[in-house]
Structure 1
């Protein structure tokens, strides 16, 4: 499955509609700072999860980043604010669309989740983890090179690799081992 396109309007710094089609091989997105390159990746994450994890804790003056997901800049406010992301799997196109006041089709989102993740082994929030492990943002790379404590660097790297639910898997493994031992003991 490949990212086919991103179509958005009134999302973050993009007031006017814009559509970016991705090539079958690879696509290079280049530009100076502040022109919206990161917003393209934000749009994919927002379409899949309904949030932007890089801003989870950001707050100022009683506002959160959620107050700035949709266009608030100068110029007329777009009448239709949306993020529409398409994924191609062979000849099949799967679309996920979020609007300012609406949620995506839950059946379509589940279909996409099943195609992107093995639900038998998926973490609790598979699309959120997929976003955090598939797009390595520059702020994560910079965080690894700064003067962080060892535990903080480990946590940042663990989150970047998607191993942030390791404790849950270890606990699950211990429960399975205990249950297997108990069954084996009861058969004797």
Structure 2
């Protein structure tokens, strides 16, 4: 079996599928029905998160340590059944990051990476993959920052793949696969750029 490549990932995301590794490293492709998404424009931080944001406990950076975020996400799952971030997957997504399509949002405390998330951006669609934290609320602050980037750059779709309690807290909903594929086509055909926030948006709580 050939090794997973960045081109494989691009083809998969454009067609609504994504890879996950089994515990033995075997890769499988998935296309859930229903599909979980987070409506970007209706996202609102919780009252408790607004308080954390106002304290400015973390420095947020984008794409400073993409592989570090992926490995943080992989380590956080070693004690669970969710072992899908293999070295092969890390290599492929890191290659996609170097091409400018995969991105990380990172939370730092005292210049140490303490949380973050990563995903793939194609057109105006962002495909969220995983998040981790070493300090409480670090990943939640990173996610809030992600939403601000997506809003500022007029992204149309935030895909979270499967529904679970973690994404529900951010407003995730499930939609039928056919509806997702229609949204996917429109979003990937519309240009958008995943970039650092403008200064006036850095601490915007909305």
Q: TM-score range by the shorter chain?
A: under 0.3
Greater share of strand: 2
Q: TM-score, normalised by structure 1?
A: 0.25
The structure carrying a bigger helix percent of its residues is 1
Q: Could you say which structure has the larger radius of gyration?
A: 1
| TM, length-normalised to structure 2 | 0.24
